[in-house]
Structures are given as structure tokens and as C-alpha cells.
Amino acid sequence: MTVVTGANALFFRCLQQLLLSLPRWQVPGCLVYDLGLSDPQRCDLIRRFPWIELRIVPNGPEHLRDVGNYAWKPTIMAEVLSQQSEPALWLDSACVVVGSLEPVIEHVRQHGLWVPWAGRGPVCEMTHPATLTALAVESAIERGRFRAGGVCAFDPARPEVLELVRSWRELAWCPEILAPPGSHRSNHRYDQTLLTVLLARSSLDPSDHEVDISSSHPISFLRTRNKVDERIPLALDPWVRAYFWLRRFLDVAHWKWRELRRNGL
């Protein structure tokens, strides 16, 4: 399985953290897409991590240049899957691998993809109404949960999976659907909404796994949202990992406690 990620200058330190974690779990390489890195950052990546392949974002519509609308993600995944026969796993740069990826590989082997749940809020709460209208989203999907856009794997050998990713890119290339006027990060989930709707309408099994976003039972082999300040030196990575481990532990404990209260225990 090929690991794919990307970052701009603001997420360079996060990207370094992710790349440091991959060899610990025998991940042999990684495709890294340049979303706006500086020349010194690119040179540093190649020097520190010679086993990665640094790429540029594929050509596409004008709004693809705006990293804030995430149109680049489905565009990148569609390109990667069109160029190879093995599955590809997208990981946001703020992710860290902390265990074997075998559960992902096994689910993709059986079902052709792996897209876990992310958070507990309904789709309608964090999707701009214009996108819901343009996609004619069913009420059951509006009330349902989001799938994770920041961690997802696809097998191009499955025609129905490849078609889903291509549809994801096609919708992302329509700015009026992806990012309608008035949409912003606090009221809209861009590519994540599109992927969630496509999966909900399909007969595919993305898995019942949950990432560590408002979850009492998140997957143990992957952490998300490990955003590291760019001023923190790479030499402090062990301490940074310890901090995020503790934060995750407390967050999971909080959600377990809430579940116990809700169940009257």
C-alpha cells in the first residue's frame, strides 16, 4: 500500500512528524505532494527523508490553487490511483502512525477501500446549505455522521472504488458545489462532505472504525490532528509524541465517561 500525503509551508513541521513515524512501522516510502512548501523546506525534506517522492499537484481548474477548499485532495488521489495498481492510503500531514497499518490493508483487501468515521456531529451541521441543495442530499445522509477525509484508502483494482474517487474529484472540480459563496472552515467540510455523501449512496463498506475525533473507541494505530508548532525543533519529537499521546488518552477517557453518564452507569 502506498502512503500519500501533502503539506504547505505552515504544515511543514507536521509533515516531518508524520514522515518520522512511517519507518517505525515498516512503511517503505511515501508520495509527498507540495502544496506550497518553500525551497529550503523542499531541500530539507529530500535531505532528511531520501526515501520519499516529492510531487507537485496535478493540473486542474483555477480554484485548485486555493489550498483552503481542499479540491487538491481528491485530485491527488485520483491521479495516484490512475497511475498504479496497488491501493493508496491518504494521510493528512498532521497524522502520526503509531501501530501497524495491517487493519487498513486487510479491510481494503476485502472491501476495496477504508474510510473511517470522524466525529459525532451530523453532516447538515457542518455543510453549507448550498452544497446540500446542489447534491440533493437525502435527509438520512444529512442526519448521519461524517466519514474521514483526512485518512482514507482506496484500491484502484476495484472499478467501483476507482469510479467513486473519480466522482469525488469531479464534484471537487465544481466550485459552486465544493465551496459555495459564504462557505468557510467553521460551517463547511468541503471535500469531506462530498466523500461522505458518495459513500453513503454507494453499496461499499468503508468500515466501522473511528478516528480519534470525539470517539470513545478510536483506532489504536493512527492519531490525527497532531498539529505541531513550526517553532518546535525536530529533536524534541519524542516529547511531542508523548504530549499528543497524553492528549489523546484524556480525550478518549472524556468520551467514555460521557457514554457512561448517558447510559446511567
pLDDT > 70? residue 132: yes
- Mean pLDDT taken over the chain: 96
Answer yes or no: is 192 within a domain.
Answer: yes
Confidence at residue 136, expressed as pLDDT on a 0 to 100 scale? 98
Instruction: Please choose, from the candidates 196, 163, 192, 190, the residue with its C-alpha nearest in 3D space to the C-alpha of residue 177.
Output: 190
- The whole domain housing 11 covers 2-257
Question: Against a cut of 0.85, is the pTM above it?
Answer: yes
- Structural domain count, the chain: 1
What's the average model confidence in pLDDT over 188-204?
Answer: 98
The C-alpha atoms of residue 122 and residue 98 are separated, in whole angstroms, by 28
DSSP annotation of 135:
T
What's the average model confidence in pLDDT over 179-200?
Answer: 97
Tell me the pLDDT tens digit for each residue of 223-265.
999 999 988 999 999 999 999 999 999 999 999 998 888 877 6
The C-alpha atoms of residue 217 and residue 195 are separated, in whole angstroms, by 23
What's the average model confidence in pLDDT over 111-140?
Answer: 97
> pLDDT tier at 117 (50, 70, 90 boundaries)?
very high
Q: What is the CATH number of the domain that holds 210?
A: 3.90.550.10
Answer yes or no: is 190 within a domain.
Answer: yes
Answer yes or no: is 217 within a domain.
Answer: yes
Confidence at residue 265, expressed as pLDDT on a 0 to 100 scale? 61
Q: How many CB atoms lie within 10 A of CB 228?
A: 24
**Rg of the Cα atoms in the chain:** 18
β-bridge pairing 88-91 and 2-7: parallel
Answer yes or no: is 167 within a domain.
Answer: yes
Confidence at residue 263, expressed as pLDDT on a 0 to 100 scale? 79
Answer yes or no: is 264 within a domain.
Answer: no
